[in-house]
Amino acid sequence: MIEQNDKERIEKFFSCGLSQAEAEELLEEIKVRPDLSEAFRERQKVQSVIETFLAQDLKKKLSGNIAGTGGSLSTESKVRKLHVVYRYLVAASFIGVIAFVAINRTRYYNDANVFSRSYSLDFESTRSAGNHINDVEMAQMFLSSGQSDYYAESIRKLESIPADDSLYYKAQYLLGHLYLNTDNPEKAIVKFSGVADHQHDISQDAQWYLALAYLKAGKAEEARGQIQKILKNKDHAHYQNAMDLDRSLNSIWRKV
């Protein structure tokens, strides 16, 4: 259920009482909260009624002013002036709607939002022999359940796994995810790169997440390059994901 604070934020949005950051935060929440989205749409309807009333009121006042000129203006001139004002109001309203849509679509396709929509965790069971099996499984469990309080400890333990260990590449892969989820995409790039270039059953997963790590790091061109590598192989496990991401990165809204 929508809170009073949410109602106040919506009201401030339409009265230009929010800062740019606050307005952006509200618009992002609207995307994921149906209750907030519904309240926002209802307030939009009210705003539309208000704008229509103001336009009609202005039209009446202008008509009265023109009529008060004592007939100095011809009927044709009066109509022409009213039409100019009316077209101006319609154009201003239309431009406002277009600007609102353009801003939101541009934000929808920026690096951060494209990354958020594309990134998800989908781990399979990794039970196998190895000296550090518990550390690897625990790290995967923490990631899957979003227990971020344990990420730092998992990073420390996985970083200590030597290259000759049978679970080294799995650990490197999980480290890539841990670094992505602790806002360290540069280190994630290093980890995913090492696994992506190695013949392993998770190599294709690493190749996909490497593209996302580039995107998270603000390196859209490198992300595009990695996507193109994936798209060369139609049998790639993440071929469709790469297709979708490629369309997003090449959307016209990223150029607005």
**Average pLDDT across the chain, whole number:** 78
129 pLDDT above the threshold of 50: no
Report H helices in the chain: 4-14, 20-32, 34-67, 75-108, 111-118, 133-145, 151-159, 168-180, 185-196, 203-216, 220-231, 239-249
Superfamily of 122-254 according to CATH: Tetratricopeptide repeat domain (1.25.40.10)
Q: What is the pLDDT of residue 215?
A: 92
Sequence ranges of the domains in the chain: 4-108, 122-254
Contact 123, 141 (CB under 8 A): no
Q: Work out the average pLDDT over 91-107.
A: 56
CA distance 207 to 127: 22
CA distance 181 to 149: 11
| 151 Cβ contact partners less than 8 Å away, ≥ 6 residues apart | 142, 143, 178, 181, 182
81 pLDDT above the threshold of 50: yes
Contact 117, 111 (CB under 8 A): no
Q: For the segment 18-61, what is each residue's pLDDT rounded down to a tens digit?
A: 777 787 788 888 878 888 878 877 877 776 766 666 666 666 66
pTM above 0.85, yes or no: no
62 pLDDT above the threshold of 90: no
